[in-house]
Amino acid sequence: NLLQAWAKISGHKVYGWFVNNPFWKPLHGNRTQIAKGHFFALRSIQPKIKGYILLDGDARNLTDHEVVSEGLSLGRWTRYETESYLIVPEVLKRFVRQRGGLFAGPAIQYLDDQVPPAVFHEPYKDSPFLNNTPFSKTLLPAFFEQAQLPIRKNDYSQIAEQMNKNEIHPEILKKMDEIAKAIGV
């Protein structure tokens, strides 16, 4: 859902593929062998099918040869997880102001207290904070709790939908290019 939102905003050619309900299987962790099993099962029915696995940055210990095979490409986020690319303070503030009403202030103060100044000034530059923090389990739930907004991880695409094209991290666009190339879009 995050990638689809970013593809729509950026006008990326892979957007149509996302809209047409591509087959995808969440890994729920780094269970790449399960993903490969699904891919090979599909391949037994449709031999020319192509696939792409996009791993979070916390999967740094997996080697490419454990994942890649004929017709199955691999991408890896530099940051800890996909949700890490939502940590653009101005976007989060705008989102909570639009949705949070009376409780936007405490959420914004929480964000100001938790996010290092370097990230506020350069949210598109990688840093240990952005590359090593599981924001979907830490900062974002607490941020939405402060705002008293019932936003769950499955709803985080709503944040992405609020982004402007110039607020989308360049790595996201690069990964969408990789997906398009891997699946032949």
pLDDT at 27: 64
Q: By the 8 A CB rule, do 108 and 96 touch? A: yes
Q: What is the mean pLDDT of residues 4-24?
A: 89
> How does pLDDT run across 24-42, given as a tens digit for each residue?
766 666 667 777 778 888 8
- Say how far apart CA 136 and CA 1 lie, in whole Å: 14
Query: What is the chain's mean pLDDT, rounded?
Result: 87
pLDDT at 9: 97
pLDDT-derived band of residue 59, with 50, 70 and 90 as boundaries? low
One-letter amino acid of 176: M
- Say how far apart CA 12 and CA 62 lie, in whole Å: 29
In order of 3, 29, 89, 127, 146, the CA distances from 157 in angstroms are 8, 19, 16, 23, 19
- Say how far apart CA 132 and CA 81 lie, in whole Å: 9
How is residue 131 written in tokens? 């590359």
Contacts 24+ apart (CB under 8 A), 41-45: 43/71
pLDDT at 114: 94
How is residue 16 written in tokens? 């149509």
Task: Determine what percent of the chain is predicted with pLDDT higher than 90.
Answer: 58
Question: If phi over 0 gives left and psi between -120 and 50 gives alpha, with beta otherwise, what is residue 159?
Answer: alpha
Q: By the 8 A CB rule, do 9 and 168 touch? A: yes
pLDDT at 70: 78
pLDDT at 83: 94
Can you give the pTM of this predicted structure? 0.88
How many residues are present in the chain? 185
Residue 62 has pLDDT above 80, yes or no: no
CA 172 to chain centre: 8
Residue 49 has pLDDT above 70, yes or no: yes
What is the Cα gyration radius of the chain? Answer: 17
The candidate with the shortest Cα–Cα distance to 82, out of 32, 144, 164, 153, is 153
> How does pLDDT run across 151-165, given as a tens digit for each residue?
999 999 999 999 999
